[in-house]
Amino acid sequence: MQATLPTIPEMLAAAKGRPLLSFEFSPPKDDAGQDLLHATILELDQLNPDFVSVTYGASGSTRDRTLGATQFIKKRVGPQTIGHLTCASQSSDDLRDVVRGYAEVGVNHVLAIRGDMPGGPKAPWVRHPEGLDNATELVRLVKEVDPAFVVGVAAFPDGHPDKHDLALDARLMLAKQEAGAEFAITQLFFDPAAYVRLRSTLDAIGCTLPVIAGVMPVTSLGQIERLAEMSGAPLPEAMVARLQAVGDDPQAVRQVGVDLAVEFCQALLDEGVPGLHYFTFNRARATREIVARLADS
């Protein structure tokens, strides 16, 4: 039987200035993707992450594969595991079933986010007729199903793409905390100053949620537009210029992308970020390089 693991809030409290290390994985689309995911999980486990998370597709479209990936992690490797949960296009009963499904495979941490509609980030939000309207309601639902669950939420250093209203975002974060959330992980962002601004805004209204920074290197020019859409904000001009300066050499683009990610992470560490959460897209190489270089710095 696996020993009881400390919760993420317990790890944050005990870290004493050491930033937590964590990775995000995505459920596979097919058998080949499953083999790649399992290999990546096992490879990155060698870095001794404090926790890992598994995403959850729009409308619960990857529900079974998400649960399968979390079950693999619980059986094969050691870190605390977070299952994502979105309320897009699902009834409240569907969501309660997912929470119970996580509990059945030994997962008691959830990242509760509203999520995007099946049409993508720009599709208008439509509440399911028997569902929930936002992440605050989702936090409450998880806690109602099982008060022992530890619930994290998303944070938006560049502002939520729907409104781009940082003051509103801060008030919503406080509401999530009051509903039972205990930590936050940022969505994609690329300017360390945005993290500092977010933290100051939260501090000003008494929101004390620890905010772990989400990290992903840009390793190809083709990612620039897609990542800007995912993050809801354009990538910094200086960052894009450095990538485009070597745009005719894919290997050089990749190296510059890793360099930029190391600089980004180091700036966040200098600001006392409580953790770095790497969006791996089920690949290990770039993440391993960044972690190794930060350890040597």
Q: Residue 132's closest CA among 158, 99, 102?
A: 99
Q: Annotated catalytic, 225?
A: no
- Among the options 10, 24, 137, 229, which is catalytic? 24
**Are 73 and 41 spatial neighbours (Cβ–Cβ below 8 Å)?**
yes
Which residues are identified as catalytic? 24
